[in-house]
Structure 1
Amino acid sequence: MSKLLEIGQPASNFTINNQDGKAVNLNGFLGQWLVLYFYPKDNTPGCTTEAQDFSKLTPEFEALGAKIIGISPDSEKSHCKFIAKHQLSLELLCDSDHQVAESYGVWGLKKFMGKEYMGIIRSTFIINPEQNIAYIWSNVRVKNHAETVLKKLRELQS
Structure 2
Amino acid sequence: MNTITIRKAHHNDLEKLLEFEQGIIAAERPFDPTLKAEKINYYDIEKMISAPDIEVLVAEIGSELVGSGYARIETAKHYLNHPNYAYLGFMYTDANHRGKGINAKIIEALKEWCNLQDVFELRLDVYNDNTSAIKAYKKSGFKKHLINMRMVL
Q: TM-score, normalised by structure 1?
A: 0.28
Based on CA coordinates, which of the two structures has the bigger radius of gyration? 2
Q: TM-score, normalised by structure 2?
A: 0.28
Higher relative contact order (CA 8 A, sep 6+): 1
- The structure in which a higher percent of residues are strand is 1
